[in-house]
Amino acid sequence: MVKVGVVGASGYTGLELVKMLVTHSGFQLTYLATTQGDTMIEKLHPSLVDVISLPVEKADANSVAERCELVFLALPHKASMGFAKALLDKGVKVVDLSADYRLELDTYEAHYCAHEDKAHLGDATYALIEYYREELKGTNLAAGPGCYPTATLLGILPFIPYLDTSAPLFVDAKSGVSGAGKTLSETAHFVTINDNIFAYNPIKHRHAPEIAEKIEKIHGAKMNVNFVPHLIPATRGELVSVYATLKEDIDPMEVLKKHYENDPFIRIRETPVDIKSTAGTHFCDIFAAKNGNALFVSSAIDNLLRGASSQALVAANLMCGYDEGMGIPTIAYIP
């Protein structure tokens, strides 16, 4: 059994990690922490009453290193990198769910803040599983992709060789409110989001450079990514629609089926996808169609799981020599 911990256990992604780790046959949950500490996990999350009872401590790198071989950091950007640096120097494997290690230095500093751990930044492996599976097996630092980039990249990457990359890429993305985290804000207030839908940070959102950077890294293609996220009145789930221009005639569905034929958590759908069918699972559902040279690709994920916590758990599985599907939820919750 590999001893693991979760730092940032009070948030939505922290809760999802704990729920999966409780029943994981290869990991033993030995440490839980927040910036405050001094409570119990079942008090933070009443859904865990009679499921697990563990103290939640104030986050401390020395305590993590003494009790864990691998730790999940479910912390905001900037807060994560300082903690990760200390842990990596102590020989602890890190799966970071923040943005701190998922981008090149120049891209990160242009859209977030000054980076405090340049020494380890080059050691990070981007945890988009289907494209970095082998690299994750040998890394000590996995950088979880953003939820929007996960859904976007899994949908569009198979088509990059067939696209006119000089034409703009348009991404229309919609997410449940849990993607905004637990911190209260006007846009996430019930009165604002109920019976409503709206865009936020259109075109200027910092996930756009992440999408563009990974397209270039994987395919060597520079693309103008126009990304527009929306909040929808749902707790969880994410639907991304991508619009691109083809440079040659293809059968989009055949491209998808061939590209992902060996990937167990990608489901190619014959009809347009929806968020309920992936809720509570690690699956990414993808559908594509074309009209002449106009390509439409749509993908659906659970933003808290495939977009964060279950993708982090798969990365940890690979880092520790386990099967990637160990402990991963696959049954959709449809009320």
Q: Could you read off the pLDDT of 29-81 as tens digits, one per residue?
A: 999 999 888 899 999 999 999 999 999 999 999 999 999 999 999 998 989 99
b/e burial code for range 111-120 (CB count within 10 A of at least 16 → b): bbeebebeeb
- Domains for the chain: give ranges and CATH numbers: 2-123 (3.40.50.720), 148-303 (3.30.360.10)
Average the pLDDT over 319-330 and give the result.
95
Strands (E), 67-204: 70-73, 93-96, 125-126, 141-143, 169-175, 198-199
Residue 246 per-residue DSSP state: B
Percent of the chain scoring above 70 in pLDDT: 99
Active site residues: 147
Whole-prediction pTM value?
0.95
Q: For residues 227 and 197, is the Cβ–Cβ distance under 8 A?
A: no
Angle at 242 between CA 132 and CA 13, to 5 degrees: 55
Q: Residue 304: which residues within 8 A CB-CB, separation 6 or more?
A: 12, 13, 16, 147, 178, 179, 236
Q: Could you read off the pLDDT of 174-218 as tens digits, one per residue?
A: 999 988 777 777 888 888 888 999 999 888 888 999 999 999 999
Q: Decide if pLDDT at 148 tops 70.
A: yes
